[in-house]
Structure 1
Amino acid sequence: MTISPPSAERGQQLLQRLEQFTTRNDGQVAVARRLLADHPDLPLFGFAISRTIEPEPGKPAHSLILCVGEYNTDAITAWASALGAELVIDGARHTLSTAIDGIGIWASAVVHDDVYDIEGSVFTPTPDDVTCTYRGLLVTSLGEDGTLLIVGHPPARDVLAATSAYYRGTCGQRLRPFGGNNLADSIGRSWGRFIAYPNRRDWQLQPCWENTPGAMPVTWMYTEEGATQDLGDVEHCPTCGRPSRGLAYSPMNGQRVHVCPSPACRHQWPVTDSPSLTSSKEHS
């Protein structure tokens, strides 16, 4: 195990950095000082803090996170032993969680993928491993741009239907083509292996060839190429009578408006009790 114990000077620097956090709790600093004094030979490169607004019953609201290195699982084992804490091993992730004087203590590290049994971590996903299912299709949202991953190579109409259901049910939005693009053109198909690394809960998708052991067909829906529109209660267009749930903001006064979905109409009318953004700014 690589040991990098903080010297007295280094320990003081760690405390000073911790004290600079404006959201810290005094108990966090006291516990940090105690840990440095009681366990000077254990690896520690820094502290982080966290606060839970509504902690679970019996759980601390303020916690101190021990930074020992992303891949230093030996350090997690050493700290768990020293603190009498339970060492939890979930796949490649090693975690300890305990409390001292009402302050939570938490640390985590993962076994490096170079020495981890990646081949033994290949798995077939189930509904428990994805964001949602739609007509038997396993659908997962990836990243911050709204890209969807669908297990299998279903027809484009099923991909679009699943995408629509996801955005309506999960996001409360309608996805529409943007800039003349066809949403079907945003569909991509490939092959990949689902890897339970660092664990099954935080799995990764490894691109591969079709004949790779454990390979599965996957479909990508690159939804960043579409435009989203918020959904509200069903209203009927006062001009053409078509039902609509589409919401937008008027470019004239910033007021929330309904939008008729008919391409031949596109009439907009105010949402009841929707204040104008312009007027609210004037009186703020």
Structure 2
Amino acid sequence: MPLGPPVPERAQRLLAQLERYGSREHGQLAVGRRLLAEHPDLPLDGFMISSSMCPEPGRPLHSLILRVGEHDTDGITAWARALATEPIIDGARHQLDTILDDIGIWASATISEADYDMDQAVFIPSGDDVSFTHRGLLVTEFGEDGDLLFSGHPPAREVLAATSAYYRDTCGQRLRAFDGRDLADSITRGWCRFVAYPTRTDWRIRSASQDTPGALPVTWMYAQEGDTQDLGDPVHCPACGRSSRGLDYDHVTGQRVHLCPSPVCRHQWPVDDAPDLEATEHRQDQRAALAAH
């Protein structure tokens, strides 16, 4: 498809990139050409496209995303004003969100931490800032491994109760100690500052000493150090018939086994017919270390 009248080399490159997305039939290519023709001097590193199956009322079905520098908030402002609007500023994040020729135009940039007043962004979290509350505790999912962050230094039993409730009610799982260790050993306490960066919705924490202005006590529960089992798939002890979700390792073979919870039974049986080779090696290493001492 010809690009029409000659345009600067940068515009040709950006339009060729946009054309590869196959967006010609939805109008993004035409809008991209118009933006480059009418605003050739505004900052732009590239295009991306987006489509929605069920857009919100008043929102366009197809959008064109402008890629400016990660921290080029001035560029966001320039584009917004060129398109007869103003940037949407939320904390350190600046966004362009408008519509041109029935195509949504969107872009975003964030003021760098070095250039942002992080001290002014420190805040005290409330229930609206965290994932959930449990008996007055503020709890947030932290990272991607199922860890939890608690505001304050609650007793270990309260941390464990909230962790159990989270895994049961949110994940549909039961969390158990790994390899015979105590889940309480996965609890760590410290101090940090809650920082509304880049926004209050997308806040971060920064480790701090207790005497740092704005520092608050926090507790981490490193729950990925435990084992989980689906609550919806219980098994039954072949010896006494009691339902069981307990898991353990056989201390001789290292094989993964189910463990009956009945104190008068405590029967163990294999999870499957294949031995857990990783667990076996772990057990062998432990026995070798003990024998060496």
Q: Give the TM-score taking structure 1 as reference length.
A: 0.80
CA contact (8 A) 2:191 2:217 kept: yes
The one-letter code sitting in structure 1 at the alignment partner of 2:98 is T
Change (3 A) 1:23 1:133: farther
Q: Which residue of 2 aligns with 1:64?
A: 64
How far apart are residue 163 of structure 1 and its match? Answer: 0.8
Q: 1:221 to 1:66 in 2, by over 3 A?
A: same
Q: Do the aligned residues in 1 keep the contact of 2:130 with 2:139 (CA within 8 Å)?
A: yes
Q: Which runs of 5+ in 1 are unaligned?
A: 1-6, 249-258, 270-284
1:164 is matched with which residue?
Answer: 164
Please tell me whether the aligned partners of residues 24 and 49 of structure 1 are also in contact (alpha carbons under 8 angstroms). Answer: no
Report the number of matched residues: 252
Residue 232 of structure 1: SS of its match in structure 2?
coil
Q: Would you say the 8 A contact 1:31–1:101 is kept in 2?
A: yes
The answer on whether the counterparts of 2:77 and 2:86 sit within 8 Å (CA) in structure 1 is no
The higher radius of gyration belongs to: 2
Structure 2 partner of 1:153: 153
Identity of aligned residues (%): 60
Aligned match of 2:103:
103
Aligned twin of 1:178: 178
Closer, same or farther: CA 79–149 of 1 in aligned 2, 3 Å = same
How far residue 64 of structure 1 moved from its aligned partner, in angstroms, is 1.2
Given that 1:197 and 1:204 are in contact with CA atoms closer than 8 Å, whether structure 2 keeps it comes out as yes
Gap change, CA 1:266 and 1:24, over 3 Å in 2? farther
Task: Please list, as runs of the form range in 1=range in 2, the aligned pairs for 1:124-163 lying within 5 A after superposition.
Answer: 124-163=124-163
Cα gap change, 1:225/1:97 in structure 2, threshold over 3 Å: closer, same or farther?
Answer: same
Aligned residue identity for 1:8: P
Say whether residues 1:81 and 2:81 are aligned partners: yes
CA-CA distance at 1:240 after TM superposition: 3.4
Q: Distance in 2 between matches of 1:236 and 1:178?
A: 21
Q: Secondary structure of the equivalent of 1:74?
A: helix
CA offsets, 1:174-214, max 9 Å, x none? 11222333211111111000011111111110100001111
Q: Which moved more, 1:174-183 or 1:77-86?
A: 174-183
Give RMSD over aligned pairs: 2.5
Paired letter, 2:48: A
Deviation string, structure 1 residues 228-255 (Cα, Å, up to 9, x no partner): 11121889768635455x599xxxxxxx
Structure 2 residue 7 is the aligned partner of structure 1 residue 27: no
Q: Which runs of 5+ in 2 are unaligned?
A: 1-6, 248-257, 272-293
Distance 1:93-1:51 versus aligned 2 partners, 3 A rule: same
Is the contact between residue 151 and residue 219 of structure 1 (CA under 8 Å) also seen in structure 2?
yes
> What TM-score do the two structures reach when normalised by structure 2?
0.78
Per the TM alignment, residue 265 of structure 1 is displaced from its structure 2 partner at its CA by: 3.9
Change (3 A) 1:24 1:127: farther
**Higher mean displacement: 227-236 or 172-181:** 227-236
1:45 corresponds in structure 2 to 45
Contact 1:142–1:149 (8 Å) recurs in 2: yes
Preserved CA contact (<8 Å) 1:243 1:260: no
4+ aligned runs moved over 6 Å, structure 1: 233-238
